[in-house]
Structure 1
Amino acid sequence: MTRDAIKVILEQPPKTKIGIRDRFFMIFLYGTGARVSEALNVRLKDIEIATKDPFVRILGKGNKPRCVPLLDITVENLDYYLSVYHPNGLPEDYLFYTVIKGTKDCMSVANAERFIKKYGEAARKTCSQVPENVYPHLFRHSFGAHLYRMGFPLPVIAKLLDHESLETTEIYAQTDTEMINAAFREVEESLQSQNPLELKEKKWKLADEETLAKLYGLK
């Protein structure tokens, strides 16, 4: 998802206690790149914010732990969220929880998927960049893609996302190629629409990684 799409989605939750929780959950997904199940399993004891570089411990696939830095904007929203949902700050409490019949427990994946889909549908009414189907994993994918475009090395992104193989992470490089090819096609279509009677042979060709490297002076 584009940053604009994410921004509009984050504007959808109502200014209620539930809305505060839903909005911060999406911020947490996007700010950490966590899988939805990983985010839901985070407990207060897994978060370290009283340090120079705040981070969260996340338990990934195969019970493999990793530490993910927390951005300033995530920490700011976390502080407010904790004041509303965790005034007592009990270490063993789940960061995200629901209360059913007086019992507090970990929020379900189905519940997270439900409200994220709802906010995605609402956001799409005002922003065409929002995908037709918004689900939790899109925030993780967007986290990785945006890090790549900011210049983060693929091995670093792989570590943050808990990818076992670098080949999995390379999809973000492919995404950039696809976006540039799409831009080329839009330019061509625009030019042809302006001169419908003078259609010429297509000048653009699909750009591969080597071509892109040359374009950006990397080779």
Structure 2
Amino acid sequence: MRRNIGKRKKEAICLGIALLCGALLTGLLLVQRGMLVEARARRAGQELSREVLRFHVLADSDSRQDQQRKMEVKEAVLAYMGEAMPQDADLEETCSWVQEHLEALEQTAGETLREAGCSDPVRAELVRDYFPEKTYGDVTFPEGEYTALRICIGEGQGHNWWCCLYPSLCFTDAVTARVPEEEKEQLGRVLGEDEYEMITAYSDFKLRWFFFGGRD
């Protein structure tokens, strides 16, 4: 009888050790996979930041009037670029065009403000700067360093409006809050597969699902 009890105790101890080892191994595998996900996502984010040109308009303040003027400047500048900027330009050509037309872009923004009775100074510049995570419609760009056309109104202390100038996501229907599928297709042709999946399915769960091999 005692022998059977001792045997059962040994079996229980062995089972417990086996379960503990299994749990530890599973935990280590999850940590390892999580590190791989983060590393792959980081690489994709770095590649993404080198393949797009963002457009930001910074309002003087968060007052209702300044925010309205920001949107008027945005519309005027986008209209000017829609007419004057080559539509088939690649990233390098788009950046060169913007650099060469900063004065005209600044003038367009300034004239829009003057017409609205605003005397705030305005500055247009092509910058390489850090930006936090931003969502445009149903597309999310992770935080990181990006090249951007920045138009700063006055002190530039108000919330900004932004879009992706290249590949173009700026000329979309803002009411739907979704980027049209044809523009996503253009985005997919320009970006790498990982970068495209990152910005169109950007959440911790979706990123892990994707980078763990959830694709067909």
Scaled by the length of structure 2, what TM-score is found?
A: 0.28
Higher strand share: 2
Between Structure 1 and Structure 2, whose CA radius of gyration is higher?
Answer: 2
TM-score (norm 1): 0.28
Q: Which has the higher contact order (CA 8 A, sep 6+)?
A: 2
